[in-house]
Structure 1
Amino acid sequence: MRILVAGPVPAASDYGNGVTARRWASLLRDLGHEVRVVQDYDGDTYDLLIALHARKSEAAIRAFRAACPDAPIVIALTGTDLYPDLVSGGVDLALLEAAARVVVLQPQGVLQVPEALRSRTRVITQSMPSISGEAPAADRFEIAFLAHARPVKDPLRLSEAVRLLPPSSRITVTHVGGVREDDIGDRLRAESAGNPRYSWLGALPRPEALAVLARSRLLVLTSRHEGGANVVTEALAAGVPIVSTRIPGSVGLLGEDYAGYFPVGDAAALAAVLDAAEHDRDGLYTQLRRQCAARRASADPERETEAWKRLLAEAVPEKAGYEGVR
């Protein structure tokens, strides 16, 4: 089957949508399909379109529908599509209603989809093979912050929080991520120069970014919204506990009972969680490690592959070529 994957960033991008598009293309090829990844519809004929990001891929979806009216479309909803809601995210609901299937990246995403479309909505959690790396440094409690500097990521919240830690704390932050606006870059450079606990490395090649994660004692996610962050999956694959804003995108992946949440935008609450984790106060760090280990199976690549296999059998049964899939 010929499959077109359309997304809002170049296929080589290390932004989340680029990482997701490349991974999906790889697993679909492993299933025996011919796959092309594009930003804009290329005018060719395909058996299926998988559109990543309903709003930003809208032009590609419309062009594909006009050129291949009989081919089904799968639309995958990202965090900025889903939150705070589809209408606020600029999603054309009529376009969504024309999709053969809708994909969300964590279970709570289904709740954002109109009730009439939920029977066509599938949850496909993202995956990552196990990540190994060097042991954590003994002389500090290193925290990984892997986030491009966009407002939705609240990128300066963690640097604010670590300034609130007691002088005796050994916490340091290594921030990996690019910038799109010069003023944010200037603020991050100033923070990195003036805050001894904070080091911003800018954008790094993906293997180097994952190496930073693998050697860290914690990953922190400060986002205001996420559809189902790749970095959470990567931390689970690396065996690195997570501290995250209590947002549906993280609760859907980690569970309501996860112990490592803090309120969006609350630097003082984040500082308190980090301080407790560093000292394993009330067993918090031990609990985070145990809970993340228990959730590791959700990031298994075989689970994601099987989920796509089932979806293709539903959306394009005559061409999927999978017998016995229900």
Structure 2
Amino acid sequence: MSPALAAANNGNWRTARRWQRFLSWPPRIIEQWPDEFSDRDRVMLALHARRSSPSIIAWREMRRSAGLAVILTGTDLYRDIGSDVGAQRSLHLADALVVLQERGPLALPGALHAKTRVIFQSTSRRKTQAKSQRRLRALMVGHLRAEKDPETLFAAARLLAGRDDIRIDHIGDPLEPRLGEAARATMAASASYRWLGGQPHAATRQRIQRADLLIQASRMEGGAHVVMEAVCSGTPVIASAIDGNIGMLGDAYAGYFCCGDAPGLVELLVRCRASQGRSDGLLARLADQCRERAALFAPAAERAAVRRLVADLIAIA
């Protein structure tokens, strides 16, 4: 089950839909359990400990011995499980907990580690496109909400207002209207920044593929789809140094800036621009490091891990 369905056009939905395709029978994706078909269900994979909490509790009350896995999002790991009773209860009711990047277990109490597994999400590989040397084209993808920290991007764009050789495109719906207003104000103040609004997933992947660089500025992430999509498109990433990003890109990755640090983000963009076309420069180094991580996000690996999870849950009953 997923608290977000297709209309949300977000990572939660894409995870649920992809896992549905991985399994040999067609599991249902629903927002709330139980419903009129509940008597047919053998296992539950519940995405989001807090938002799915009522369904998780109902499942455990009605299906006491049936397998239950909870897949933890960034807001679960880095906010809700520390204060929300429903999210905390979900952790303890689950037979298995799933985190989506290698630092996820660090956010959980030690007593829960034994039932926690890491499943990296996956995406198809895309051919790396030839890039122009005329300017650095950076792209940020994420709906405009506080967790994605678009305000750091806005501040960085204003700092770059006098440069014509670095351009930033920004994709995402204005889930917080004030941030949409701030995006429009940033466009008016800086010709280096362009807000494109929400875009279909296919069009977004094409833009990621064409970009010289993906910016990932989030304050909290469970394992961002756009990071793996960039890595698997041959597009380097510069990212806020939060656990959700480090768990995707690795401890030794050279493209981190401090969360919320707009001058630090600008410094990386300027260094990447200065190194364009150089085999020994920062941009080439980031591309090499991303290439080394790409195998983690292979569909065959995720499919095998999801099938193992479901088989383990079925064996519990």
Give the Cα separation in 2 of the matches to 1:112 and 1:296.
24
TM-fit CA distance, 1:91: 4.8
TM-fit CA distance, 1:27: 1.3
Q: Does the 8 Å CA contact 1:125/1:299 hold for their aligned counterparts?
A: yes
| Paired residues for 1:138-149 under 5 Å | 138-149=133-144
**Corresponding residue number in structure 1 for 2:50:** 55
**Corresponding residue number in structure 2 for 1:18:** 13
TM-fit CA distance, 1:12: 4.0
**Corresponding residue number in structure 2 for 1:302:** 300
| Paired residues for 1:28-47 under 5 Å | 28=23, 32-43=24-35, 44-45=38-39, 46-47=41-42
Task: Tell me the alpha carbon deviations over residues 207-263 of structure 1, each in whole angstroms, 9 at most, x when there is no partner.
Answer: 011111110000001101111111111111111000000000111111111000000
Q: Does the 8 Å CA contact 1:83/1:89 hold for their aligned counterparts?
A: no
- Pair 132,91 (structure 1): closer, same or farther in 2 beyond 3 Å: farther
RMSD: 2.0
TM-fit CA distance, 1:292: 0.4
| Paired residues for 1:118-267 under 5 Å | 118-132=113-127, 135-165=130-160, 167-168=162-163, 170-267=165-262
| Structure richer in helix, relative to its length | 2
**Corresponding residue number in structure 1 for 2:102:** 107
- Pair 90,226 (structure 1): closer, same or farther in 2 beyond 3 Å: farther
Quick check: 1:116 aligned with 2:111? yes
Q: Does the 8 Å CA contact 1:140/1:170 hold for their aligned counterparts?
A: yes
- What is the letter of the counterpart of residue 180 of structure 2? G
Give the Cα separation in 2 of the matches to 1:178 and 1:317.
42
Q: Does the 8 Å CA contact 2:121/2:297 hold for their aligned counterparts?
A: yes
**Corresponding residue number in structure 2 for 1:3:** none
**Corresponding residue number in structure 1 for 2:312:** 314
- Pair 35,268 (structure 1): closer, same or farther in 2 beyond 3 Å: same
Give the Cα separation in 2 of the matches to 1:85 and 1:56.
10
**Corresponding residue number in structure 2 for 1:75:** 70
Q: Does the 8 Å CA contact 1:81/1:90 hold for their aligned counterparts?
A: no
Quick check: 1:96 aligned with 2:88? no
- Pair 158,129 (structure 1): closer, same or farther in 2 beyond 3 Å: same
Q: Equivalent residue of 1:37, what SS?
A: coil
| Paired residues for 1:251-290 under 5 Å | 251-280=246-275, 283-290=281-288
Q: Does the 8 Å CA contact 2:60/2:93 hold for their aligned counterparts?
A: no
Q: Paired residues, what number? A: 311
- Pair 259,207 (structure 1): closer, same or farther in 2 beyond 3 Å: same
Give the Cα separation in 1 of the matches to 2:79 and 2:55.
24
Give the Cα separation in 1 of the matches to 2:193 and 2:59.
46
Where structure 1 has 5 or more consecutive residues not aligned to the other structure, the ranges are 1-5, 320-326
Give the Cα separation in 1 of the matches to 2:149 and 2:83.
19
Q: Does the 8 Å CA contact 2:216/2:237 hold for their aligned counterparts?
A: yes
Q: TM-score, normalised by structure 2?
A: 0.92
Q: TM-score, normalised by structure 1?
A: 0.90
Q: Equivalent residue of 2:3, what SS?
A: coil
Q: Does the 8 Å CA contact 2:161/2:190 hold for their aligned counterparts?
A: no
Give the Cα separation in 1 of the matches to 2:202 and 2:127.
11
- What is the letter of the counterpart of residue 227 of structure 2? V
